[in-house]
């Protein structure tokens, strides 16, 4: 089942929202001008609202696509596409997560890197 939105985390190796913009423009359509609000950046790529949060979790940047109208079925498919396009390690949730699933499941993540795809434990909370 298609997820209602997509959120992935890109490792901060000098990747910026401008690097992501070029990729998203190719895939979703031209990006509008980025608007900075506090520590976040927002634009629209094609018809998809995009939010970029630098260093959202430690050295990891968050990329949030607020739409189910993307070419990707889920976060994992998007993460794999992002890695292929940007050659940077990407992490995402293995599927939709709800608070009632408990904290243990909240730490389950998928890592996409040069090593391939693997499930990891990533403690993002404080």
pLDDT digits (tens, 9 = 90+) for 18-77: 899 999 999 999 999 999 999 999 999 999 999 999 999 999 999 999 999 999 999 999
* Residue 27 or 13, more confident: 27
Is residue 14 very low, low, confident or very high in pLDDT (cuts 50, 70, 90)? confident
pLDDT of residue 15: 87
- Residues of the domain holding 73: 6-121
pLDDT score of 16: 87
**Assigned domain for 75 exists:** yes
Residue 115: inside a domain: yes
Give how many domains the chain has, as a whole number.
1
Q: Is residue 1 part of a domain?
A: no
> Burial level of 87, CB count in 10 A (0-12/13-18/19+)?
exposed
**Quick check: is 18 in a domain?**
yes
């Amino acid at each position: 089942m298609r997820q209602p939105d997509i959120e992935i985390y890109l490792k901060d190796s000098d990747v910026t929202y401008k690097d992501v913009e070029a990729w998203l423009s190719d895939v979703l359509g031209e990006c509008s001008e980025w608007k900075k609000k506090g520590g976040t950046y927002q634009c629209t790529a094609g018809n998809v609202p995009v939010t970029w949060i630098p260093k959202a979790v430690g050295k990891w940047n968050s990329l949030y696509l607020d739409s189910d109208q993307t070419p990707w079925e889920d976060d994992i498919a998007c993460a794999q596409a992002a890695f292929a396009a940007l050659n940077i390690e990407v992490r995402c949730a293995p599927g939709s997560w709800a608070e009632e699933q408990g904290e243990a499941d909240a730490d389950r993540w998928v890592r996409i890197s040069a090593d391939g795809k693997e499930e990891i434990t990533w403690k993002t909370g404080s």
